[in-house]
Structure 1
Amino acid sequence: MSAPDSFEEYVAARRGALLRTAYLLTGSHEDAEDLVQVALIKAVPHWRRIADHPEPYVRKVLARESISRWRRRRWREVPTDQVPETSVEGPAADRVELQRALGRLAPRQRAVIVLRYYEDLTEAETARVLGISVGTVKSQARDALVRLRAESLDTVAP
Protein backbone atom coordinates (compact mmCIF):
# COMPACT_ATOMS: atom_id res chain seq x y z
CA MET A 1 0.00 0.00 0.00
CA SER A 2 1.40 3.41 -0.90
CA ALA A 3 1.51 6.11 1.73
CA PRO A 4 -1.83 7.95 2.00
CA ASP A 5 -1.79 11.70 1.41
CA SER A 6 -3.98 12.35 4.44
CA PHE A 7 -5.42 10.72 7.50
CA GLU A 8 -8.85 10.79 5.90
CA GLU A 9 -7.58 8.90 2.85
CA TYR A 10 -5.95 6.30 5.08
CA VAL A 11 -9.18 5.77 7.01
CA ALA A 12 -11.22 5.52 3.81
CA ALA A 13 -8.81 3.01 2.29
CA ARG A 14 -8.12 0.82 5.32
CA ARG A 15 -11.23 1.00 7.52
CA GLY A 16 -12.67 -2.29 6.26
CA ALA A 17 -9.43 -4.20 6.82
CA LEU A 18 -8.98 -2.66 10.26
CA LEU A 19 -12.56 -3.61 11.20
CA ARG A 20 -11.97 -7.23 10.11
CA THR A 21 -8.81 -7.44 12.21
CA ALA A 22 -10.52 -5.82 15.18
CA TYR A 23 -13.45 -8.22 14.85
CA LEU A 24 -11.10 -11.19 14.99
CA LEU A 25 -9.45 -9.69 18.07
CA THR A 26 -12.71 -8.94 19.90
CA GLY A 27 -15.30 -11.35 18.51
CA SER A 28 -17.92 -8.60 18.42
CA HIS A 29 -18.91 -6.16 15.67
CA GLU A 30 -19.67 -3.41 18.17
CA ASP A 31 -16.41 -3.89 20.07
CA ALA A 32 -14.51 -4.02 16.78
CA GLU A 33 -15.96 -0.66 15.72
CA ASP A 34 -15.06 0.83 19.10
CA LEU A 35 -11.56 -0.64 18.92
CA VAL A 36 -10.91 0.79 15.45
CA GLN A 37 -12.23 4.16 16.59
CA VAL A 38 -9.88 4.19 19.58
CA ALA A 39 -6.92 3.13 17.42
CA LEU A 40 -7.59 5.87 14.89
CA ILE A 41 -8.05 8.47 17.62
CA LYS A 42 -4.71 7.45 19.10
CA ALA A 43 -3.06 7.63 15.66
CA VAL A 44 -4.12 11.23 14.95
CA PRO A 45 -1.66 12.96 17.31
CA HIS A 46 1.19 10.92 15.79
CA TRP A 47 0.11 11.25 12.17
CA ARG A 48 3.01 13.45 11.04
CA ARG A 49 5.46 10.85 12.32
CA ILE A 50 3.62 7.75 11.03
CA ALA A 51 2.00 9.13 7.86
CA ASP A 52 4.49 7.41 5.53
CA HIS A 53 3.66 3.96 6.95
CA PRO A 54 0.78 4.10 9.47
CA GLU A 55 -0.30 0.42 9.34
CA PRO A 56 2.19 -0.99 11.91
CA TYR A 57 1.35 1.73 14.42
CA VAL A 58 -2.42 1.31 14.02
CA ARG A 59 -2.15 -2.50 14.27
CA LYS A 60 -0.08 -2.17 17.43
CA VAL A 61 -2.73 0.06 18.98
CA LEU A 62 -5.48 -2.37 17.94
CA ALA A 63 -3.72 -5.35 19.50
CA ARG A 64 -2.69 -3.61 22.70
CA GLU A 65 -6.02 -1.91 23.23
CA SER A 66 -7.82 -5.22 22.66
CA ILE A 67 -5.73 -6.89 25.34
CA SER A 68 -6.23 -3.97 27.74
CA ARG A 69 -10.00 -4.04 27.22
CA TRP A 70 -10.10 -7.78 27.83
CA ARG A 71 -8.19 -7.36 31.07
CA ARG A 72 -10.60 -4.68 32.28
CA ARG A 73 -13.70 -6.75 31.40
CA ARG A 74 -12.62 -10.32 31.97
CA TRP A 75 -14.31 -10.76 35.35
CA ARG A 76 -17.60 -9.19 34.41
CA GLU A 77 -20.49 -11.53 33.82
CA VAL A 78 -23.04 -10.74 31.16
CA PRO A 79 -26.48 -11.97 32.22
CA THR A 80 -28.97 -12.94 29.56
CA ASP A 81 -32.59 -14.00 29.50
CA GLN A 82 -32.24 -16.17 26.41
CA VAL A 83 -29.83 -18.86 25.35
CA PRO A 84 -28.56 -18.04 21.85
CA GLU A 85 -29.41 -20.31 18.93
CA THR A 86 -26.35 -22.44 18.14
CA SER A 87 -27.56 -24.66 15.32
CA VAL A 88 -25.61 -23.62 12.23
CA GLU A 89 -24.38 -25.79 9.35
CA GLY A 90 -21.97 -25.36 6.43
CA PRO A 91 -19.29 -22.67 5.93
CA ALA A 92 -21.09 -20.34 8.32
CA ALA A 93 -20.70 -22.99 11.03
CA ASP A 94 -16.95 -23.08 10.39
CA ARG A 95 -16.73 -19.30 10.79
CA VAL A 96 -18.80 -19.43 13.97
CA GLU A 97 -16.63 -22.21 15.38
CA LEU A 98 -13.44 -20.33 14.46
CA GLN A 99 -14.79 -17.23 16.18
CA ARG A 100 -15.65 -19.24 19.29
CA ALA A 101 -12.25 -20.94 19.29
CA LEU A 102 -10.44 -17.62 18.99
CA GLY A 103 -12.61 -16.28 21.80
CA ARG A 104 -11.41 -19.07 24.10
CA LEU A 105 -7.76 -18.14 23.64
CA ALA A 106 -5.95 -15.81 26.00
CA PRO A 107 -5.83 -12.26 24.59
CA ARG A 108 -2.12 -12.36 23.76
CA GLN A 109 -2.47 -15.75 22.06
CA ARG A 110 -5.43 -14.47 20.10
CA ALA A 111 -3.52 -11.36 19.04
CA VAL A 112 -0.54 -13.46 17.93
CA ILE A 113 -2.76 -15.83 15.89
CA VAL A 114 -4.66 -12.96 14.24
CA LEU A 115 -1.52 -10.99 13.40
CA ARG A 116 0.53 -14.01 12.23
CA TYR A 117 -2.07 -15.95 10.27
CA TYR A 118 -4.79 -13.48 9.36
CA GLU A 119 -2.70 -10.33 8.85
CA ASP A 120 0.17 -12.51 7.55
CA LEU A 121 2.84 -10.70 9.56
CA THR A 122 6.22 -12.29 10.16
CA GLU A 123 7.23 -13.35 13.65
CA ALA A 124 9.45 -10.26 13.90
CA GLU A 125 6.67 -7.93 12.75
CA THR A 126 4.21 -9.52 15.18
CA ALA A 127 6.73 -9.13 18.00
CA ARG A 128 7.23 -5.47 17.13
CA VAL A 129 3.47 -4.80 16.98
CA LEU A 130 2.83 -6.44 20.35
CA GLY A 131 6.02 -5.20 22.01
CA ILE A 132 7.18 -8.72 22.87
CA SER A 133 10.12 -10.89 21.85
CA VAL A 134 10.15 -13.13 18.80
CA GLY A 135 10.52 -16.10 21.16
CA THR A 136 7.33 -15.08 22.94
CA VAL A 137 5.53 -14.84 19.60
CA LYS A 138 6.70 -18.36 18.75
CA SER A 139 5.67 -19.83 22.10
CA GLN A 140 2.31 -18.03 22.16
CA ALA A 141 1.55 -19.20 18.60
CA ARG A 142 2.60 -22.76 19.43
CA ASP A 143 0.48 -22.86 22.59
CA ALA A 144 -2.51 -21.29 20.84
CA LEU A 145 -2.34 -23.74 17.95
CA VAL A 146 -2.07 -26.69 20.35
CA ARG A 147 -5.14 -25.44 22.17
CA LEU A 148 -7.07 -24.83 18.94
CA ARG A 149 -6.21 -28.31 17.66
CA ALA A 150 -7.20 -29.93 20.96
CA GLU A 151 -10.53 -28.11 20.98
CA SER A 152 -11.23 -29.03 17.37
CA LEU A 153 -10.60 -32.69 18.22
CA ASP A 154 -12.95 -32.39 21.20
CA THR A 155 -15.74 -31.14 18.95
CA VAL A 156 -15.17 -33.96 16.44
CA ALA A 157 -14.90 -36.81 19.00
CA PRO A 158 -18.06 -38.94 19.41
Structure 2
Amino acid sequence: MRARQASRGARRGREFEAFVAGAAGRLLHTATLLTAEAPDANPRARRLLTRALAHTYAAWGRLRGEDPYDRTRAYLALRFAHRARHRYGARGRAGPAPGSTLAHLTPRERLVLALRLYEGVAEEQTAALLGLPADRVRTLCDRATATLLHPPRPRAPEAAGAEAAGAMTRRPR
Protein backbone atom coordinates (compact mmCIF):
# COMPACT_ATOMS: atom_id res chain seq x y z
CA MET A 1 0.00 0.00 0.00
CA ARG A 2 2.76 2.46 0.95
CA ALA A 3 4.77 1.56 -2.14
CA ARG A 4 1.77 2.32 -4.34
CA GLN A 5 1.25 5.73 -2.68
CA ALA A 6 4.92 6.54 -3.05
CA SER A 7 4.78 5.53 -6.71
CA ARG A 8 1.70 7.69 -7.29
CA GLY A 9 3.38 10.62 -5.53
CA ALA A 10 6.51 10.26 -7.65
CA ARG A 11 4.44 10.07 -10.84
CA ARG A 12 2.45 13.15 -9.76
CA GLY A 13 5.71 15.00 -9.16
CA ARG A 14 7.11 14.04 -12.58
CA GLU A 15 3.89 15.04 -14.34
CA PHE A 16 3.84 18.39 -12.60
CA GLU A 17 7.53 19.01 -13.36
CA ALA A 18 6.86 18.28 -17.04
CA PHE A 19 3.93 20.70 -16.98
CA VAL A 20 6.02 23.44 -15.36
CA ALA A 21 8.88 22.88 -17.81
CA GLY A 22 6.51 23.41 -20.72
CA ALA A 23 4.26 26.16 -19.38
CA ALA A 24 6.23 28.24 -16.90
CA GLY A 25 7.92 30.48 -19.48
CA ARG A 26 4.68 31.55 -21.11
CA LEU A 27 2.92 31.95 -17.76
CA LEU A 28 5.80 34.07 -16.44
CA HIS A 29 5.53 36.29 -19.49
CA THR A 30 1.79 36.67 -18.86
CA ALA A 31 2.44 37.53 -15.21
CA THR A 32 5.07 40.05 -16.28
CA LEU A 33 2.57 41.70 -18.64
CA LEU A 34 0.05 41.90 -15.82
CA THR A 35 2.45 43.50 -13.36
CA ALA A 36 3.97 45.78 -16.05
CA GLU A 37 7.46 45.00 -14.80
CA ALA A 38 10.57 44.76 -16.90
CA PRO A 39 11.16 41.18 -18.15
CA ASP A 40 14.57 40.97 -16.47
CA ALA A 41 13.41 42.49 -13.15
CA ASN A 42 10.02 41.04 -12.30
CA PRO A 43 9.82 39.94 -8.66
CA ARG A 44 6.06 40.54 -8.36
CA ALA A 45 5.39 38.52 -11.50
CA ARG A 46 7.53 35.67 -10.18
CA ARG A 47 5.68 35.67 -6.84
CA LEU A 48 2.36 35.69 -8.67
CA LEU A 49 3.42 32.75 -10.84
CA THR A 50 4.80 30.81 -7.88
CA ARG A 51 1.45 31.13 -6.09
CA ALA A 52 -0.47 30.06 -9.17
CA LEU A 53 1.76 27.02 -9.70
CA ALA A 54 1.51 26.08 -6.00
CA HIS A 55 -2.26 26.27 -6.27
CA THR A 56 -2.25 24.05 -9.34
CA TYR A 57 0.08 21.54 -7.69
CA ALA A 58 -2.19 21.34 -4.65
CA ALA A 59 -5.10 20.44 -6.94
CA TRP A 60 -3.07 18.29 -9.34
CA GLY A 61 -4.63 14.99 -8.28
CA ARG A 62 -8.17 16.39 -8.65
CA LEU A 63 -7.83 17.84 -12.16
CA ARG A 64 -9.46 14.82 -13.83
CA GLY A 65 -9.09 15.82 -17.44
CA GLU A 66 -9.10 19.57 -16.78
CA ASP A 67 -6.35 21.49 -18.55
CA PRO A 68 -3.74 22.47 -15.93
CA TYR A 69 -2.59 25.42 -18.06
CA ASP A 70 -6.09 26.91 -18.13
CA ARG A 71 -6.49 26.39 -14.42
CA THR A 72 -3.13 28.00 -13.63
CA ARG A 73 -3.80 30.93 -15.96
CA ALA A 74 -7.23 31.47 -14.41
CA TYR A 75 -5.80 31.47 -10.89
CA LEU A 76 -3.00 33.82 -12.00
CA ALA A 77 -5.54 36.25 -13.48
CA LEU A 78 -7.90 36.13 -10.52
CA ARG A 79 -5.10 36.51 -8.00
CA PHE A 80 -3.74 39.51 -9.90
CA ALA A 81 -7.21 41.08 -10.15
CA HIS A 82 -7.84 40.61 -6.44
CA ARG A 83 -4.45 41.96 -5.44
CA ALA A 84 -4.65 44.92 -7.84
CA ARG A 85 -8.08 45.87 -6.55
CA HIS A 86 -6.84 45.96 -2.97
CA ARG A 87 -3.50 47.53 -3.77
CA TYR A 88 -4.45 50.20 -6.29
CA GLY A 89 -8.20 50.53 -5.91
CA ALA A 90 -10.70 49.80 -8.62
CA ARG A 91 -9.47 52.54 -10.98
CA GLY A 92 -5.92 52.98 -9.74
CA ARG A 93 -2.95 52.90 -12.02
CA ALA A 94 0.10 50.87 -11.22
CA GLY A 95 3.45 52.51 -11.09
CA PRO A 96 5.93 49.62 -11.31
CA ALA A 97 7.95 50.39 -14.42
CA PRO A 98 7.54 54.03 -15.45
CA GLY A 99 9.20 53.44 -18.82
CA SER A 100 6.84 50.57 -19.63
CA THR A 101 4.12 51.17 -22.16
CA LEU A 102 1.82 48.98 -20.06
CA ALA A 103 2.24 51.29 -17.06
CA HIS A 104 -0.25 53.68 -18.74
CA LEU A 105 -2.99 51.06 -18.38
CA THR A 106 -5.10 50.29 -15.35
CA PRO A 107 -4.59 46.84 -13.83
CA ARG A 108 -7.94 45.69 -15.22
CA GLU A 109 -7.03 46.92 -18.72
CA ARG A 110 -3.70 45.05 -18.54
CA LEU A 111 -5.51 41.93 -17.35
CA VAL A 112 -8.05 41.97 -20.17
CA LEU A 113 -5.40 42.83 -22.75
CA ALA A 114 -3.08 40.03 -21.64
CA LEU A 115 -5.87 37.45 -21.60
CA ARG A 116 -7.44 38.50 -24.88
CA LEU A 117 -4.42 39.36 -27.04
CA TYR A 118 -1.46 37.48 -25.57
CA GLU A 119 -3.22 34.38 -24.26
CA GLY A 120 -5.93 34.31 -26.94
CA VAL A 121 -8.78 33.73 -24.49
CA ALA A 122 -12.18 34.36 -26.06
CA GLU A 123 -14.12 37.44 -25.01
CA GLU A 124 -16.91 35.40 -23.42
CA GLN A 125 -14.43 33.26 -21.47
CA THR A 126 -12.59 36.34 -20.25
CA ALA A 127 -15.88 37.90 -19.19
CA ALA A 128 -16.91 34.75 -17.32
CA LEU A 129 -13.52 34.44 -15.63
CA LEU A 130 -13.51 38.05 -14.42
CA GLY A 131 -17.23 38.25 -13.67
CA LEU A 132 -17.76 41.09 -16.13
CA PRO A 133 -20.21 41.54 -19.00
CA ALA A 134 -18.77 40.72 -22.43
CA ASP A 135 -19.41 44.31 -23.56
CA ARG A 136 -17.28 45.61 -20.69
CA VAL A 137 -14.45 43.25 -21.63
CA ARG A 138 -14.65 44.45 -25.23
CA THR A 139 -14.58 48.09 -24.10
CA LEU A 140 -11.60 47.51 -21.79
CA CYS A 141 -9.70 45.70 -24.53
CA ASP A 142 -10.44 48.43 -27.08
CA ARG A 143 -9.42 51.20 -24.68
CA ALA A 144 -6.22 49.40 -23.71
CA THR A 145 -5.32 48.78 -27.34
CA ALA A 146 -5.95 52.43 -28.21
CA THR A 147 -3.78 53.54 -25.28
CA LEU A 148 -0.96 51.26 -26.42
CA LEU A 149 -1.19 52.48 -30.01
CA HIS A 150 -1.41 56.15 -28.97
CA PRO A 151 0.21 56.50 -25.54
CA PRO A 152 -0.36 59.71 -23.62
CA ARG A 153 2.32 62.28 -24.24
CA PRO A 154 4.65 63.03 -21.37
CA ARG A 155 4.33 66.46 -19.91
CA ALA A 156 6.86 68.91 -21.31
CA PRO A 157 9.56 69.71 -18.74
CA GLU A 158 9.64 73.41 -19.57
CA ALA A 159 5.87 73.72 -19.07
CA ALA A 160 6.15 72.11 -15.65
CA GLY A 161 9.05 74.40 -14.79
CA ALA A 162 7.16 77.50 -15.97
CA GLU A 163 4.17 76.62 -13.80
CA ALA A 164 6.39 76.21 -10.76
CA ALA A 165 8.14 79.52 -11.49
CA GLY A 166 4.78 81.25 -11.98
CA ALA A 167 3.55 79.93 -8.66
CA MET A 168 6.65 81.29 -6.93
CA THR A 169 6.30 84.82 -8.37
CA ARG A 170 2.64 85.24 -7.49
CA ARG A 171 1.97 87.42 -4.50
CA PRO A 172 -0.36 86.23 -1.78
CA ARG A 173 -3.51 88.33 -1.39
Unaligned runs of 5+ in 1: 76-83, 85-95
Larger relative contact order (CA 8 Å, sep ≥ 6) = 1
Report the secondary structure of 1:23's partner residue. Answer: helix
Give the conservation status (yes or no) of the 8 Å contact 1:113–1:144: yes
Relative to the length of structure 2, the TM-score reads 0.64
Q: 1:51 Cα deviation (Å)?
A: 5.5
Distance 1:124 1:48, change over 3 A: farther
CA distance in 1, matches of 2:127, 2:120: 13
Instruction: For 1:48 and 1:20, locate their aligned partners in 2 and report how far apart those are by CA, in whole Å.
Output: 26
> If you compute each CA radius of gyration, which structure gives the higher value, 1 or 2?
2
TM-score, normalisation: structure 1: 0.69
Match of residue 28 from structure 2: 19
CA RMSD of aligned residues (A): 2.5
Q: Deviations over 1:33-68 (max 9, x none)?
A: 100001111222322333631122111111121122
Runs of 4+ aligned structure 1 residues displaced above 6 Å come to none
Contact 2:109 2:144 in 1 (8 A): yes
1:89-111 per-residue CA deviation (whole Å, 9 max, x = no partner) reads: xxxxxxx96xx221221111111
User: What amino acid does structure 2 have at the position aligned with 1:60?
Assistant: A
Pairs within 5 Å for 1:4-153: 6-28=15-37, 29-50=42-63, 52=65, 53-74=67-88, 100-151=100-151
Contact 1:56-1:129 within 8 A present in 2 as well:
no
Structure 2 stretches lacking a partner, 5+ long: 1-13, 90-96, 155-173
Q: Percent identity?
A: 33
